[in-house]
Structure 1
């Protein structure tokens, strides 16, 4: 775990290495957020990183969404995603559950052009399944915005685990 003071003293390379993984396979978010340091506290850091995501081009946002793994999938994923999915029980799906999740994931990607994204920390596989069943029927723009909000929530959870929320930011 880092303190905000340590974060503010990092070089750009160290900052991106430490915090880049908060946004799945998209270190450009941390790269751009570095310009806003020093940060007063973790909340300001999180707010700035999420703002960077929202200021990105439509193509960058879509690439960010597509960097996320399917929920309940069996393909390679980052360590953080593995841990989050394991915590929701998605690593122990029955064959039938796996087929249902896989089918919904395929339907979702076919409809929206990016994978279903949900901040699964503290959620059960039943809650996730229900959300998938509901959200697959949303309109494209509504779901695009929902997916970005979920990415922000995921990043916030990750940064809360990696950075202490002290109020003593310092200059680098």
Structure 2
């Protein structure tokens, strides 16, 4: 998308097709954002997406969190997640690293009731593991807030990628 006019002229189904995975497997956010058209510029589009997300209740946040794949071990992922994890080399884990990710994913999900979420762009697998080890020691409310922040970062990165910013 090279102009906001092109975005504003999209049909609802085309808009959802293009932006439906900005928030992992959560196309209803795109649907609500579509209803906020017209957008003055790309920044207004981004603010609209984030505003819809910020109005979620805790149950909706939890559903969004649980739409995210477990890092390094998930086999079936959206194209966005696959690309993001590949760029961070999570697809090249050694046996030991993979075992560590398996254990951390299990322990984290058991403690928080949602998968570990981090915007992996510009992070390597060691940095991701370090973050994992630090954040698993947080309390539930702190980590819930951190997951909300990370989802927004991921969505912003995806939106910028779609808009080629």
**TM-score, normalised to structure 1's length?**
0.92
Which residue of the partner structure matches residue 84 of structure 1? 84
Q: What do you get for the CA RMSD once the two structures are aligned?
A: 1.2
Which residue of the partner structure matches residue 151 of structure 2? 151
Q: Deviations over 1:66-119 (max 9, x none)?
A: 000011113200011000000001011011100001111111101100000000
SS in 1 for 2:20: helix
SS in 2 for 1:22: coil
**Is the aligned partner of 1:134 residue 2:140?**
no
Which residue of the partner structure matches residue 16 of structure 2? 16
How many Å separate the matches in 2 of 1:143 and 1:47?
Answer: 24
Shift of 1:4: 1.5
**TM-score, normalised to structure 2's length?**
0.95
Which residue of the partner structure matches residue 99 of structure 1? 99
SS in 2 for 1:21: coil
Q: Deviations over 1:34-80 (max 9, x none)?
A: 12111122222112111111212221111100000011113200011
How many Å separate the matches in 1 of 2:137 and 2:163?
Answer: 37
How many Å separate the matches in 1 of 2:44 and 2:144?
Answer: 24
How many Å separate the matches in 2 of 1:100 and 1:106?
Answer: 10
Question: Does 1 or 2 have the higher relative contact order (CA < 8 Å, sep 6+)?
Answer: 1
Which residue of the partner structure matches residue 71 of structure 1? 71
Contiguous gaps of at least 5 residues in structure 2:
none
Contiguous gaps of at least 5 residues in structure 1:
166-172
Structure 1 stretches of 4+ moved >2 Å? none
How many Å separate the matches in 1 of 2:138 and 2:102?
Answer: 18
SS in 1 for 2:73: coil
